[in-house]
Every structure is written in C-alpha cells, then in structure tokens.
C-alpha cells in the first residue's frame, strides 16, 4: 500500500507543479491499468465509518431522521464504488459521482448489475438538476485530497445539492490545529470542519477518533444538516 501511496503522491506532485490541482485523479486511475492494488485508497471494502454513522442515525438515535427512509443519496468522489454498493444494498437509491471517467467506467465493470447511478462529474461543476435534490450526501476522503483553499468551495457546491432538511455526512483525516498539514492526504482541523457550517448549514455532530488501521489514523466523522426552510444554499 505504501508503494501505491508513493505513486499517487508522485503523480499528484507532478500535476500540482504545473498548477493543476485536480487533473491528477484521472491520471492515477488511468495509469493503474485496471490494477486496484495501485489505487492506495481502494481497499475493496465499503467505508466502515460511513456505515457506522448510518447505523447510528436510525430512528430514536439523537432524534435524527431515519436515513434508511431516505430514498436518494448522493456520494461524492466515489472512487471504485465499494461504499456506493453498500449503500445501495441497504435499499438506498444511490447516485455516485467521481471526477475521473476511468474510475466511473471501472465501477460499472466491477458492479455490472448495480442499481447505483455511477456518473462522471466534477463537484465544482455539478448538473443544475441536482440542486436542492438529495436528502442525504456522503463524502468520505475527497476533501482531504483537495488543497485547503478549495475545500470551502467544495462544501458550498455540495450544500447546493442538499435538499432542505437533508443531511451531509463527512469522514476525513484529522489533525490538531498547530500540527503541520504534511503530505497528501491532508488531515483537516476542527476549526475547518466548524467553518463549513453557516447560513442554512448546521454542524450537528462531530467526533474525533482513532481508527483500527496499523498504525491507527486520527479521523473526524461529522454530520451537517441543512435547515428545512425554503430557499437554496449560497
């Protein structure tokens, strides 16, 4: 896995040196030549922290709405689609998108009978038909591979697709405020997570935890909720 991570850091550094902050994702997938082991973040399993948060959002838990009653879910930066498939297996109607057309074709090949609507799309140029539409959004590990200057913009774009009263679930790497950002994937701070709230988006849950990887990684999981009132997010 560390070889795969080194490869990704090298590709990202080459593109970023040319001033391109996002084209490297397609290069990572296309240069992998169909070999999943070369995609450092693709372990062939759904994200366990997303599934745990879903389980906690069942009726009665924190008075939250039962997300399993929610039909439409949007997954951001779905990669090779394992989490998308797990959401669909729970009866959810999933639209999963990724910037990389190669990743999306790969998802369709891996899951030919899938009910998931796998779409190649850029979160900074989303279809207008997605605005105010999704009662539930899942984001795991995409913000942490975007430079910090782009993350607030990314969250605003996602918020625009959230239906009034809808929830956005976020899982990412965590660091202390004074800790250096280090190399990709860049961990986020608590201040940054709090800064995404505002306007009609409220942060309703935020937890920092150590996962069970070796060595354990510090992560946040957070839930945002868009107010049920009228009007779009700005």
Given the complex with ligand SAM, which of 66 and 124 has the nearer CB atom?
124
Asked if residue 27 lies in contact with residue 15, where contact means CB atoms within 8 angstroms, the answer is yes
Q: How far apart are CA 56 and CA 96, in angstroms?
A: 22
The minimum distance between CB 164 and ligand SAM, in angstroms, equals 24
Looking at the Cβ atoms of 122 and 179, the one nearer to ligand SAM is 122
Q: Measure the CA–CA gap between 116 and 73, rounded to whole angstroms.
A: 10
Specify whether the CB–CB gap between 136 and 103 falls below 8 A: no
Helices (H) and strands (E) in the chain, counts: 7, 7
Could you say whether residue 161 binds ligand SAM (CB under 6 A)? no
Minimum distance of ligand SAM from residue 90's CB (angstroms):
17
Distance of CA 37 to the CA centre of its chain: 20
Q: How far is the first Cα of the chain from the last one, in angstroms, to the nearest whole number?
A: 39
Rounded-to-integer distance, Cα 116 and Cα 146, Å? 25
Selected binder of ligand SAM within 12, 15, 25, 104 (CB under 6 A): 25
The site map against ligand SAM for 34-53 (x = CB under 6 A) is -------xx----x------
**Least distance to ligand SAM, CB of residue 221, Å:** 13
Q: Which of 73, 92, 103, 201 binds ligand SAM (CB under 6 A)?
A: 103
Binding site for ligand SAM (CB under 6 A): 22, 25, 41-42, 47, 77-79, 98-100, 103, 122-124, 140-142, 145
């Amino acid at each position: 896995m560390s070889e795969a991570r080194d490869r990704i850091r090298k590709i990202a550094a080459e593109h970023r040196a040319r001033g391109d902050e996002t084209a490297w994702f397609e290069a990572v997938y296309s240069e992998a030549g169909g070999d999943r082991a070369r995609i450092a973040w693709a372990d062939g399993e759904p994200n366990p922290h997303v599934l745990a948060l879903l389980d906690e959002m069942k009726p009665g838990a924190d008075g939250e709405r039962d997300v399993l009653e929610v039909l439409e879910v949007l997954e951001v930066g779905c990669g090779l689609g394992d989490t998308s498939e797990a959401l669909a297996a729970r009866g959810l109607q999933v639209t999963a998108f990724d910037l990389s057309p190669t990743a999306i074709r790969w998802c369709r090949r891996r899951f030919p009978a899938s009910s998931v609507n796998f779409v190649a799309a850029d979160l900074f140029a989303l279809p207008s038909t997605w605005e105010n539409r999704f009662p539930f959004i899942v984001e795991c590990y995409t913000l942490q591979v975007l430079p910090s200057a782009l993350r607030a913009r990314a969250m605003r774009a996602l918020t625009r697709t959230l239906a009034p009263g809808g929830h956005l679930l976020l899982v990412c790497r965590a660091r202390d405020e004074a800790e250096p950002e280090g190399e990709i994937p860049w961990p986020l701070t608590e201040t940054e997570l709090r800064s995404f709230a505002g306007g009609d988006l409220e942060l309703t849950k935020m937890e920092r935890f150590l996962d069970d990887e070796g060595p354990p990684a510090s992560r946040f999981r957070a839930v945002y909720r868009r107010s049920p009132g009228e009007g779009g997010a700005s």
